[in-house]
Amino acid sequence: MRIISWNVNGIRAAIRKGIDDFIEKLKPDVLMLQEIRCLEEQLPKDWSPPDGMTYAWHPAIRKGYSGVATFSNNNFEIIGKGKANDRDEEGRVLLTKHGELTLINIYLPSGSSKIERQLYKEKWMEEFLIWLNDFVSLDSPVIVAGDLNIAHTENDIWNPSGNRMSSGFLLHEREWFDRLLESGWEDVCREHFGDKKGPYSWWSNRGKARILDRGWRIDYFLANKAASKLVVNAEINREGGLTVSDHAPVIIDLKL
Active site residues: 107, 147
Which 3-state string (H, E, C) describes 71-138?
EECCCCEEEEECCCCCCCCCCCEEEEEECCEEEEEEECCCCCCCHHHHHHHHHHHHHHHHHHHHHHCC
Spatial distance between the Cα atoms of 124 and 126, rounded to a whole number of angstroms: 6
Sequence letter at residue 70? T
Spatial distance between the Cα atoms of 150 and 135, rounded to a whole number of angstroms: 21
What single string gives the DSSP state of each residue in 129-188?
HHHHHHHHT-SS-EEEEEE-----SGGGBS-SGGGTTSTTS-HHHHHHHHHHHHTT-EEH
What radius of gyration do the chain's Cα atoms show? 17
